[in-house]
Every structure is written in C-alpha cells, then in structure tokens.
Structure 1
Amino acid sequence: MYPFERFINHLKSKMKNKRYVEGSICDAYLIEETTHFASFYFEDNVQSRRTQIGRNLNDGGIDPNLPRTLSVFNRPGRPIGAKGQRYLDTKERFAAHQYILLNCEEVQPILRLYETGLRQYNPGVTDEDIDNEVEKNFASWFKDYVYNPGNNICNQSLIDLACGPLLQATTYNGYVVNGFKFQTEEHCVRKSTNNFGVSIKGTSLSHDESFFFGTLKEIVEIEYPNIPLKRVVLFNCEWFDPTPNTGTKLDFDSGLVEVYCRRHYKKYDPFIIAQNACQVCYIPYPRGIREKLNWWIVLNVRPRGTIDNAYKHIESYQYDGIPMPTYDVGLDQEGGDDLLHNPVVLDEVEVNPIGSTQGVDDHYEIEDESEESEQDDEVVYEDSENEDGENVEFNRDSEEDD
C-alpha cells in the first residue's frame, strides 16, 4: 500500500463523530501533534510513540544476561508464529554445522591454516579442489585440531563448537531480523503478502561473488552442548539455479534480475544464518507472455521504516578560506563616473483643479492639427485625359514637387 493511502487510513481511524467528520479528524490530529511535540521534553526513560521501535525493527536485541561467547551465537532476532520441535537427520546436521564453521569469525584463522596445509602437501592443487576438500573434511579436521592438547585451544566455546549441534531443533513460522519479517513459504500460501523471498551473496575460492535467490522453507534454531546457551537461527532455503543466462538473467537496460522458477541449485547447501539474509519479492510475468511463463522478476525489499540512501539529503561543505576573484575598479580613472548610480530626477506635473476648463481647448487644438497633418499625408489620385484620350492617374504630391 502506498504511504499516502496509509496516512489517509490513519486519519479515517480518528473519526469519532460522523456528523462532523472533518472537524473530528482535525481535532484528533491536533491532539496527536501536540502530544508528539510535548514528547520531546520527556526524559529518555519515558516511553512514548516517538521513542517506540517499529514492529519489524524490534528484533529483541542481545540478551544482556547471557555471557559473551562466539560471534555466531546468540545474535539479535525475534521469532514469531507457531513453535515446534523436531530432530535433524545426519545430512541436515552436517550441512548446518559446516555452514556455521565457515561463517564464524573465530574459526577463520584455523580455516586459513587448513587451506595453507593443503597447498603445501598438494602442489598444483586448484581452488576448486580446495573448496571441495573444505566442504567434505574440514569439520572433522577442526574437531581433531581443537581437541589436540598440543594446539593449546583453551576457548571453551570453540571446543563446544567442534562437538557439533544437538539433534533436537526448534522450528518457527516467522522471524524478524535486519528490519525484515520473514515467513515460510507454506505459511504464505493463502496470503496476499510474499515474505518468503531470500537472497544472499555467495563467495568461494574458485568462483567470483554471486547472488543466490531462493525461497524460505523452514526456520530452524539449533543449539550447541554445554552451558552457557549457544543458539543459532538458520534459514532452510531452496535455491534457484544461479547459472547466468540459464537460471538467472540480468537485464542491463532496466537493471532487473530474473530467475527461472523451475530450475534449482543442484548442490545441497540449504542453510544460511538468519542475520545474513536479505529479503526479496518475486513477481511473475502476465500469463499472456508465453516466453516468460516460468520466469520471475526479483525485486529487492527495503526494511520498513528506513529510507534509501538515494533519497537522503547530501550536505554540501563550504570552506570559508576559498579565495574569491575580485575586480578592482578605480573611480578616479577615466569613465569611473559612469559606474556610479545617479538618482533619477522626475519632472513636475501641473494638475488642474476639478471643474477647470484650462487646457481643454488646447487639447482639441492639438487633435485638429493632427487631423490636418493626416489629411496632407493622404495620397489623392485624379483622372485626366491625355492627347490620345486615355485616362491617366497622377499624384498631387509629385505634381507639386515638379
């Protein structure tokens, strides 16, 4: 809905007296403006509508009671909707644990050490081979590395991370994070809203950066063993094929991205961390366009209550020390007096009193003289006969000149 229509609906909700509709709305709006102005003088601990956080911006924050662990654990986010419990299978548990390891900041130095070892013991190995080796064996190697006393790993959170997540997981229908409200595709089937579109930027050693677009199938919260609590919320997504011009197209003229809804990503990598996700909206083409029947347009969604950078006011900075060009004009030089402004002198006008006839006759005399001059200027033509009997026209003025 457009912002103007939202505001009109907000004004209509203030109508209390149906006999005086306009007056009722104006009275309620003035009260709202007055209270909003007075709220600027309240203390910071006083709750008001001005200090109220938007419903999609209220992600719950970080619980201050929980101790600080790894960067990947206990991140801000607020679950919504129905809550459920289920168990992860072996394939899902391995994929979730692998993704968390590769996106944990504290694990990155150990990951670089593993990649360096692979290059030393396997000369000539390609980046694609290293990516495949990391995906298959890094989790088990990381566990052995952390549990080895000779490596002096004393961080208990890293030791718990190496154990892997618990099999029991919690599921939700929706999740509020990064200013977006995500909902599963099953939950949005019978709704007019579309909150299941997900996008994320993917990187690897063998391929350049590319965006992945998919649909949200499930919201899973997994937990790692031992205390304190170490929870991670993951999005279980079904990705579209990111192959250019096959599963994804980019229109350079309009800047729109299109995805083929029936072609999916073959690799099993469904999980992403909820805080890394961005929301998109998929819009299908009209049914009359057959060549675009299975293609969807991808539109990026902005967080509600935020303004795009393109619409922000850019302040211009001005330096006082900038030298400005000046032109020295000496008034004592020749022609300098012409640059001075001389005051305009108005001539006096005599005004005759009302009823006086003086000046009226002179006015008529001037008009008579002008009429005589106009008559003299007129060209007069006369007809005469020459010796042959033909009519000849001549000008009086030319005759007088002769």
Structure 2
Amino acid sequence: MLYIVFRFLGKLKSYCRNKHYPEGSIAEGYLAEECMTFCSRYLEDVETRLNRPSRNSGLNDPNLAETYLFQSYGEPIGKVEIAELDDRSWIQAHRYVLFHHDAIEPLCNEYKQILRSRSRSRRLPYREINKLFTKSFHEWLSQTVWSGKAVTNEVKWLSQGPNRLVKRYSAFIINGFRFYTKNRERLRRTQNCGIVVNSSITSYASARDSNPIKGNVEYYGLLTDIIELDYYGKWKVVLFRGDWANVNIARGIKSDQFGFTMVNFSRLIHTGEQLIDEPYVLSSQVKQVFYSKDPTDEGWYVVLRNSPRDLFDMGNGSRDDIVERSETLPFPGKNLNENIPSTNTQFQWVRQDVDEDMDEF
C-alpha cells in the first residue's frame, strides 16, 4: 500500500516545472492533465492515451488471421530470416501440427488400430505401440492419402507437409505477451524468453503397463526459436521451440517451503535430438513466465507467472460473484467532515520562506 502512495507522489513531483513555486506548479500540471483527459474523451477518430492500442496487442487483421491454423497469428518483431529445416526438425514440427488438428484425429485412431492388430503376435506393450505410432504416422498418412483414400481437401493439404523453407523470428507478440528468444536477450537485463505450456500426456507405470493414464502437465522452458511453417500458401502455423525442463523427475521440478514452483534447466526433456521428441509447441498455447535464480540452491529457478497487459479479472458477472468480491474489500466508515476545512480558516498556498531572487533552475 505504501508503494502506491510513493508512486503517486512521484507522479505529482514530475508536474513541478517551477521550483520557486512547487505547490502551484504541481497544481497547474495536475489540472492541465485532467483537462486534457476530459477533452480526449470527446475526440473521435483521434488516437489518445485512453484509446490507443496496448503495447502488446499485436496485429489485428481478420483476413490474414484466417490463413493461420490454431489461432497462431501474431506480430513478428525485428528482422525475418529465411531458413531451411533439417529432416528431423521438419518431421517434429509437421507431426506436432498433425497431432493437434481435429481433422486428423480419425486417421490417428485408424492407424493405432492397424498397429495394434499387427503387434498382437509379438505382444508389444502400449508404450512401444505409441512410440511406433509417433515415429511413422506422418509417412503412413501421406501414403494413405495419395493412394486414393477418400479424405477432405484439408487433410490432403496437411498430409503433404509444409515447405522446408520457413520464416524465423527472434521476437513475437501473441496472447498479449511479448516473447524474445534466449539468444536475442542474452545481453539484456530484461527477461522475455520464459514460457510455459499446459500439455496432455500419457503416463505409464512401467514398460508393460497396459492401462496408461492421461493427464495434463505444465512444461516450463526457455524460448530458443520461433518459426512459421508454410503449407504451400494454403495455411500457415507459428511454432515455438524451447529448452524444456524435465518436469517428470524430481531433479527437474520441485516446490519450495513457500509453495513456489522451482525448475532446473540442467536436466532437459524433448531436446529434439531424438526423432520421438516434441520440442515444438503452438504459439497460441504458450504463456509467459519469469525465472528468478535461487541464491541458496544452485541451478534452481523460481517460477513467477505473468499476466498480459490490460487484462483484468472482472469475474463472471453473476450476483453471487459481485457479493463475494465486495465482502473481501473492507470499506471502513469515514467522517467526511474531518477532511473538509473550515471556511473561516485562511490557508497560505505560496511559500514565504524562499528568497524571491533565487535563480530558477
């Protein structure tokens, strides 16, 4: 609470232009800003401080946004680099797009049934079947579609895969956040490369577990690359790649005594070195976090969550929610007469203890 008071006093101090009469100068500056704010509310088609877009609002072009899948449309910042993906990275990026598209889900289930029927004689566990499915699904899909299987045009475009030439960015604005790659901010004191994504995974109790459990897990990472896939002019997808902390083991994530989440980036997962890894995520899935280094525990970082600018929790609008919020805000009774001075009292608004011949700064 005291910080808010000091911050407001600092704002009032910035209004001072004449140090010979600081009180009057502050009053004039405050009144001028109030008048400008009042007048700006009646100006139409004029950008003011009240109606200008947020710093991290990003681009707003509905026609261009329709060409991007998964609402991955955002505003790139800085120089655009044209790069060519290697075979492993191309498969990992393309496969992630396929696994998250609704039109591909029936074909995923079909291929899983084919793999299970083939592996009955060898009695492969579910874990091995899923690994085989992850490695070979994109090839099976391409062969099946182009062999004449009746599918939609959308599936045909996706089955051929994206262009190997991609656009690479070092900064990107999406979801109200401004993201920088780790390499771009290596010499900066600010931090914008912390990312977190909530992903659905399948957990196995052992290698031969036939009843896997699905659940949601939050993966924490450092943004290392931003690419834009191009499906030959039909669609585009923006993907983020990161160094992901291994949240599946105790040496990669833990909670401290105060309940804060801590991660260790010396033990990574989904590095992209193996074909089965998933280093890419959709840009629309990512939220921003900050990492504060723990001075007492080497290698560990405390996770600090961030909210987009100009985003406020207004509740659900129900009457019960309004009552609940109002009950949590104390409003002590005040006697307004205590703050209203008597009309008979004379106040001196100009300082008399300063020499008038004092040079102005």
TM interval, short-chain normalised = 0.7 to 0.9
What residue is the counterpart of 1:99 in the other structure? 96
The answer to whether the 8 Å contact 2:69/2:237 transfers is: no
Could you say which residue in structure 1 is the equivalent of 2:194? 197
- The aligned counterpart of 1:115 is 112
User: Equivalents in 1 of 2:270, 2:40: separation in Å?
Assistant: 55
- Structure 1 pair 22–107 and aligned structure 2 pair: CA distance change class (3 A): farther
The structure, 1 or 2, with the larger RCO (C-alpha pairs under 8 Å, 6+ apart) is 2
Alignment of 1:143-158 (within 5 A): 143-151=142-150, 153-155=151-153, 157-158=154-155
Q: Following superposition, which runs of at least 4 residues in structure 1 exceed 6 angstroms of deviation?
A: 2-6
Note the C-alpha offset of 1:55. 0.5
Structure 1 unmatched runs, 5+: 318-402
Let me know the Cα RMSD of the aligned residues.
3.0
CA distance in 2, matches of 1:245, 1:77: 35
Question: C-alpha separation between the residues in 1 aligned to 2:186 and 2:114?
Answer: 49
Residue in 1 that maps onto 2:48: 48
Residue 23 of structure 1: CA displacement? 3.5
User: Where does 1:93-242 land on structure 2 (aligned, <5 Å)?
Assistant: 93-122=90-119, 126-151=125-150, 153-155=151-153, 157-206=154-203, 208-225=215-232, 227-228=233-234, 230-242=235-247
Residues 97, 165 of structure 1: 8 Å contact kept: yes
Distance 2:15 2:32 in 1: 11
Answer yes or no: is the 8 Å Cα contact 2:69–2:236 preserved in 1.
no
Q: Secondary structure at the match of 2:222?
A: strand
2:65 and 2:221 map into 1 onto residues whose CA distance is 34
**Deviation at 1:135?**
1.4
Q: Check conservation: 1:281, 1:298, Cα contact below 8 A.
A: yes
CA–CA distance in 1 between the matches of 2:227 and 2:65?
22
State the alpha-carbon separation in 1 of the partners of residues 262 and 164 from structure 2. 37
Match of 1:65 among 59, 63, 66: 63
Give the fraction of aligned pairs with identical amino acids, expressed as a percent: 30
User: Residues 69 and 233 from structure 1, CA distance in 2 versus in 1: closer, same or farther, beyond 3 angstroms?
Assistant: closer
> For residue 65 of structure 1, what is the amino acid of its counterpart?
N
The corresponding residue for 1:263 is 267
1 CA distance for matches of 2:228 and 2:38?
Answer: 43
- SS for the counterpart of 1:297 is strand
Write the deviation string for residues 101-129 of structure 1: whole angstroms up to 9, x where unpaired: 11223322332333344445545764423
Distance 1:54 1:118, change over 3 A: same
The CA distance in 1 between the partners of 2:322 and 2:189, in whole Å, is 40
Q: What TM-score does the superposition give when structure 2 sets the normalisation length?
A: 0.73
The answer to whether the 8 Å contact 1:15/1:24 transfers is yes
Matched residue, 1:31:
32
Question: How many angstroms apart in 2 are the aligned matches of 1:201 and 1:215?
Answer: 15
State the 1:96 CA deviation: 0.7
Deviations, residues 203-250 of structure 1 (Å, cap 9, x unaligned) = 22345322111111122222121x34x222111211111123221112
Corresponding letter in the other structure for 2:186: V
Secondary structure, aligned partner of 1:54: coil
Which protein is bigger by CA-based radius of gyration?
1
Greater shift after overlay, 18-27 or 165-174? 18-27
In structure 2, runs of 5+ residues without a counterpart are: 204-213, 273-277, 325-361
Task: State the shift of 1:99 in Å.
Answer: 0.9
Q: Which residue of 1 aligns with 2:74?
A: 77
1:86 equivalent to 2:93? Answer: no
Q: TM-score, normalised by structure 1?
A: 0.66
Which amino acid counterpart does residue 55 of structure 1 have in structure 2?
Answer: R
On the 8 A contact 1:173/1:187 being kept in 2, the answer is yes
The one of 273, 279, 282 aligned to 2:291: 282
Give the length in aligned residue pairs.
302
Q: Is the 8 A contact 2:68 2:237 kept in 1?
A: no
- C-alpha contact 1:59 1:76 (8 A) present in aligned 2: no
Q: 1:376-395 alignment to 2 at 5 Å?
A: none
> What is the deviation of 1:67?
8.4
